[in-house]
Amino acid sequence: MSDTLRFLARMIARPVHTGAVAPSSKALGRAMAREVDPASDLPVLELGPGTGVVTEALLEHGIAPARLTAVEYDAGFAARVRQRCPGVRVIQGDAFDLDKTLGDLDKTLGARLPLAAAVSSLPLINFPVEMRLALLGSVFERLAPGAPFVQFSYRLKPPVAPPPGIAVRRAAVIWLNMPPARVWVYRRG
């Protein structure tokens, strides 16, 4: 089954969790990956990799597979990312509960934390504002100072209004995506 058909099937079955009728374009994946420093040796966290388009872009950008952990809610998508991106740690779990989902991994990464970046393709606008802010807080607890939280959205405005101490900027508009998307980069101010 093609990735587009997989996405469409998931969208029909779980519209809140999928949030799109098609996978992200390679152009969107590359724009998101550009915001991550490939020279760092710190780990990178990807949230909601879907079929792995952004995951592949991160690897092509120079992020070593061993540095990358992807958290995917959907079992089928998680299996697809494992197949497409060998060496990447793929965890099937809930990105909105990183303490539980990452569990012992947070302890295992230990000295390698904080994170060099977090990259998210989660459909944040489908969730209540309180959940979005809690996710942002949980991610920033794990990020190195100045490290980016990269998120895309189909909306004109950022999907989460930055709380005090966090700044956001639009890094790119990707017209070659269905629908067109914007890349937002959050950083601790």
Q: Give residue limits of the domains in the chain.
A: 22-188
The per-residue pLDDT for 108 is 65
The per-residue pLDDT for 189 is 76
Positions of the chain with pLDDT lower than 70, given as ranges:
1-22, 106-112
Residue burial 41-58, b: 16+ Cβ < 10 Å; e: rest: ebbbbbbbbbbbbbbbbb
Write the CATH number of the domain with boundaries 22-188. Answer: 3.40.50.150
Q: Which amino acid is residue 171, in one-letter code?
A: A
Phi and psi at residue 162, to the nearest 5°: -65, 130
Residue 50 near residue 24, CB atoms below 8 Å: yes
The per-residue pLDDT for 103 is 85
CA 131 to CA 88: how far, in whole Å? 27
Residues 6+ apart with CB under 8 A from 162: 136, 168, 186
